[in-house]
Amino acid sequence: MMLKKSKFLGIGSYLPKRVVTNNDLTAFMDTSDEWIRERSGIETRHWVEGTTTTSDLALIAAERALENAGVKKDEIDLLIVATLSPDHDFPGTACFLQEKLGIRAGVPALDVRQQCSGFLYGLSIADQFIKTGMVKKALVIGAEVHSKGMDLTTAGREVSVLFGDGAGAAVVGVCDDVVSDKDSQIFSTHIHADGNFARELWVKAPSMTYSTSRLPEEAFANKDTFPKMNGKTVFIHATRRMPEAIQEALAANNRKIEEVDLFIFHQANLRINQMVAKQLGISEDKVFNTIQKYGNTTAATIPIGLADAVAAGKLKKGMLVASAAFGSGFTWSSALFRW
């Protein structure tokens, strides 16, 4: 069977209106603008208000991506939502989004729970479905509401200052008009995991590991409902795995790093991305970062970055783009595509 090619048809993003500065966080914890900038490069982040959910953010990003692509919602054959902050434990957030967006009944709706690598995992799934002819158009979304799940005290500041809320979406579709490698297309995607480090960045509760219930009183007493991170271990592995993933994508397509026009990395920490760029030997002007404005929006960082890069004139049709992510699990991933 001759495999088809897929490509990006459109991109969209949405950030909640509320902007929270580093100085704003001093009302909750012992921190400072200088302390946060020095460790992460983050200056501001966006937080939701009231009862806003992850699927609410995803809805607006998806509508913008569909409009950008010139694709009607009835043309979507596959819906994928990457998130670690679902509306509810079950069913999946993709199902709630399907109803809100008005995607027709019968279209498969998947949740991808691979945290910071979630969007590229979702892109990989969509790419394979399109290549094999199972679907023609897919909507891949990364969306997060972190602000409602953080320990906003001094005890939790090393994690909570890093995260923001937001959503990014991409319409991916089959392309039958590929004549050369200069045409828009997704060349390859690569996904990996190593569960030996699952507890280095995680949220313990709710969990079946408790003896009485998924969410006992001890979980609240021990603050098990808040994320915990071994920052040093994450930094070491992220700055190793992301360069590896980029090199894997280049090697798979017989490309040299000098040929890449733009790099879109997951936005966890500006220091991580600077180190990745250094290890790859690329100039920082080829790396498009949004961490300063939005913080870490986990599964949403890459599609938000793509949308921002287009809006800023940094990402243009015909450019060769390499993207990589690393996150909880540990998981890591990459993609090489022509925009």
**Active site positions, annotated:** 116, 266, 296
Classify 223 as helix, strand or coil. Answer: coil
Name residue 93's amino acid: T
Classify 298 as helix, strand or coil. Answer: helix
What is the Cα–Cα distance from 172 to 76, expressed in whole angstroms? 9
Q: How far is CA 54 from the centre of its chain?
A: 13
What is the Cα–Cα distance from 306 to 331, expressed in whole angstroms? 21
Classify 287 as helix, strand or coil. Answer: strand
- Which residue reads 């783009």 in tokens? 321
Contact 53, 87 (CB under 8 A): yes
Contact 299, 143 (CB under 8 A): yes
What is the DSSP secondary structure assignment for residue 156, as one 8-state letter? G
Q: Give the chain's end-to-end CA distance (angstroms, integer).
A: 26
* CA-to-CA separations, 223 to 14, 149, 216, in angstroms, rounded: 30, 11, 11
What is the Cα–Cα distance from 318 to 339, expressed in whole angstroms? 5
Q: What is the DSSP string of 222-251?
A: TTTTS-EE-HHHHHHHHHHHHHHHHHHHHH
Give the chain's length: 339
What is the Cα–Cα distance from 12 to 61, expressed in whole angstroms? 5
Name residue 239's amino acid: T
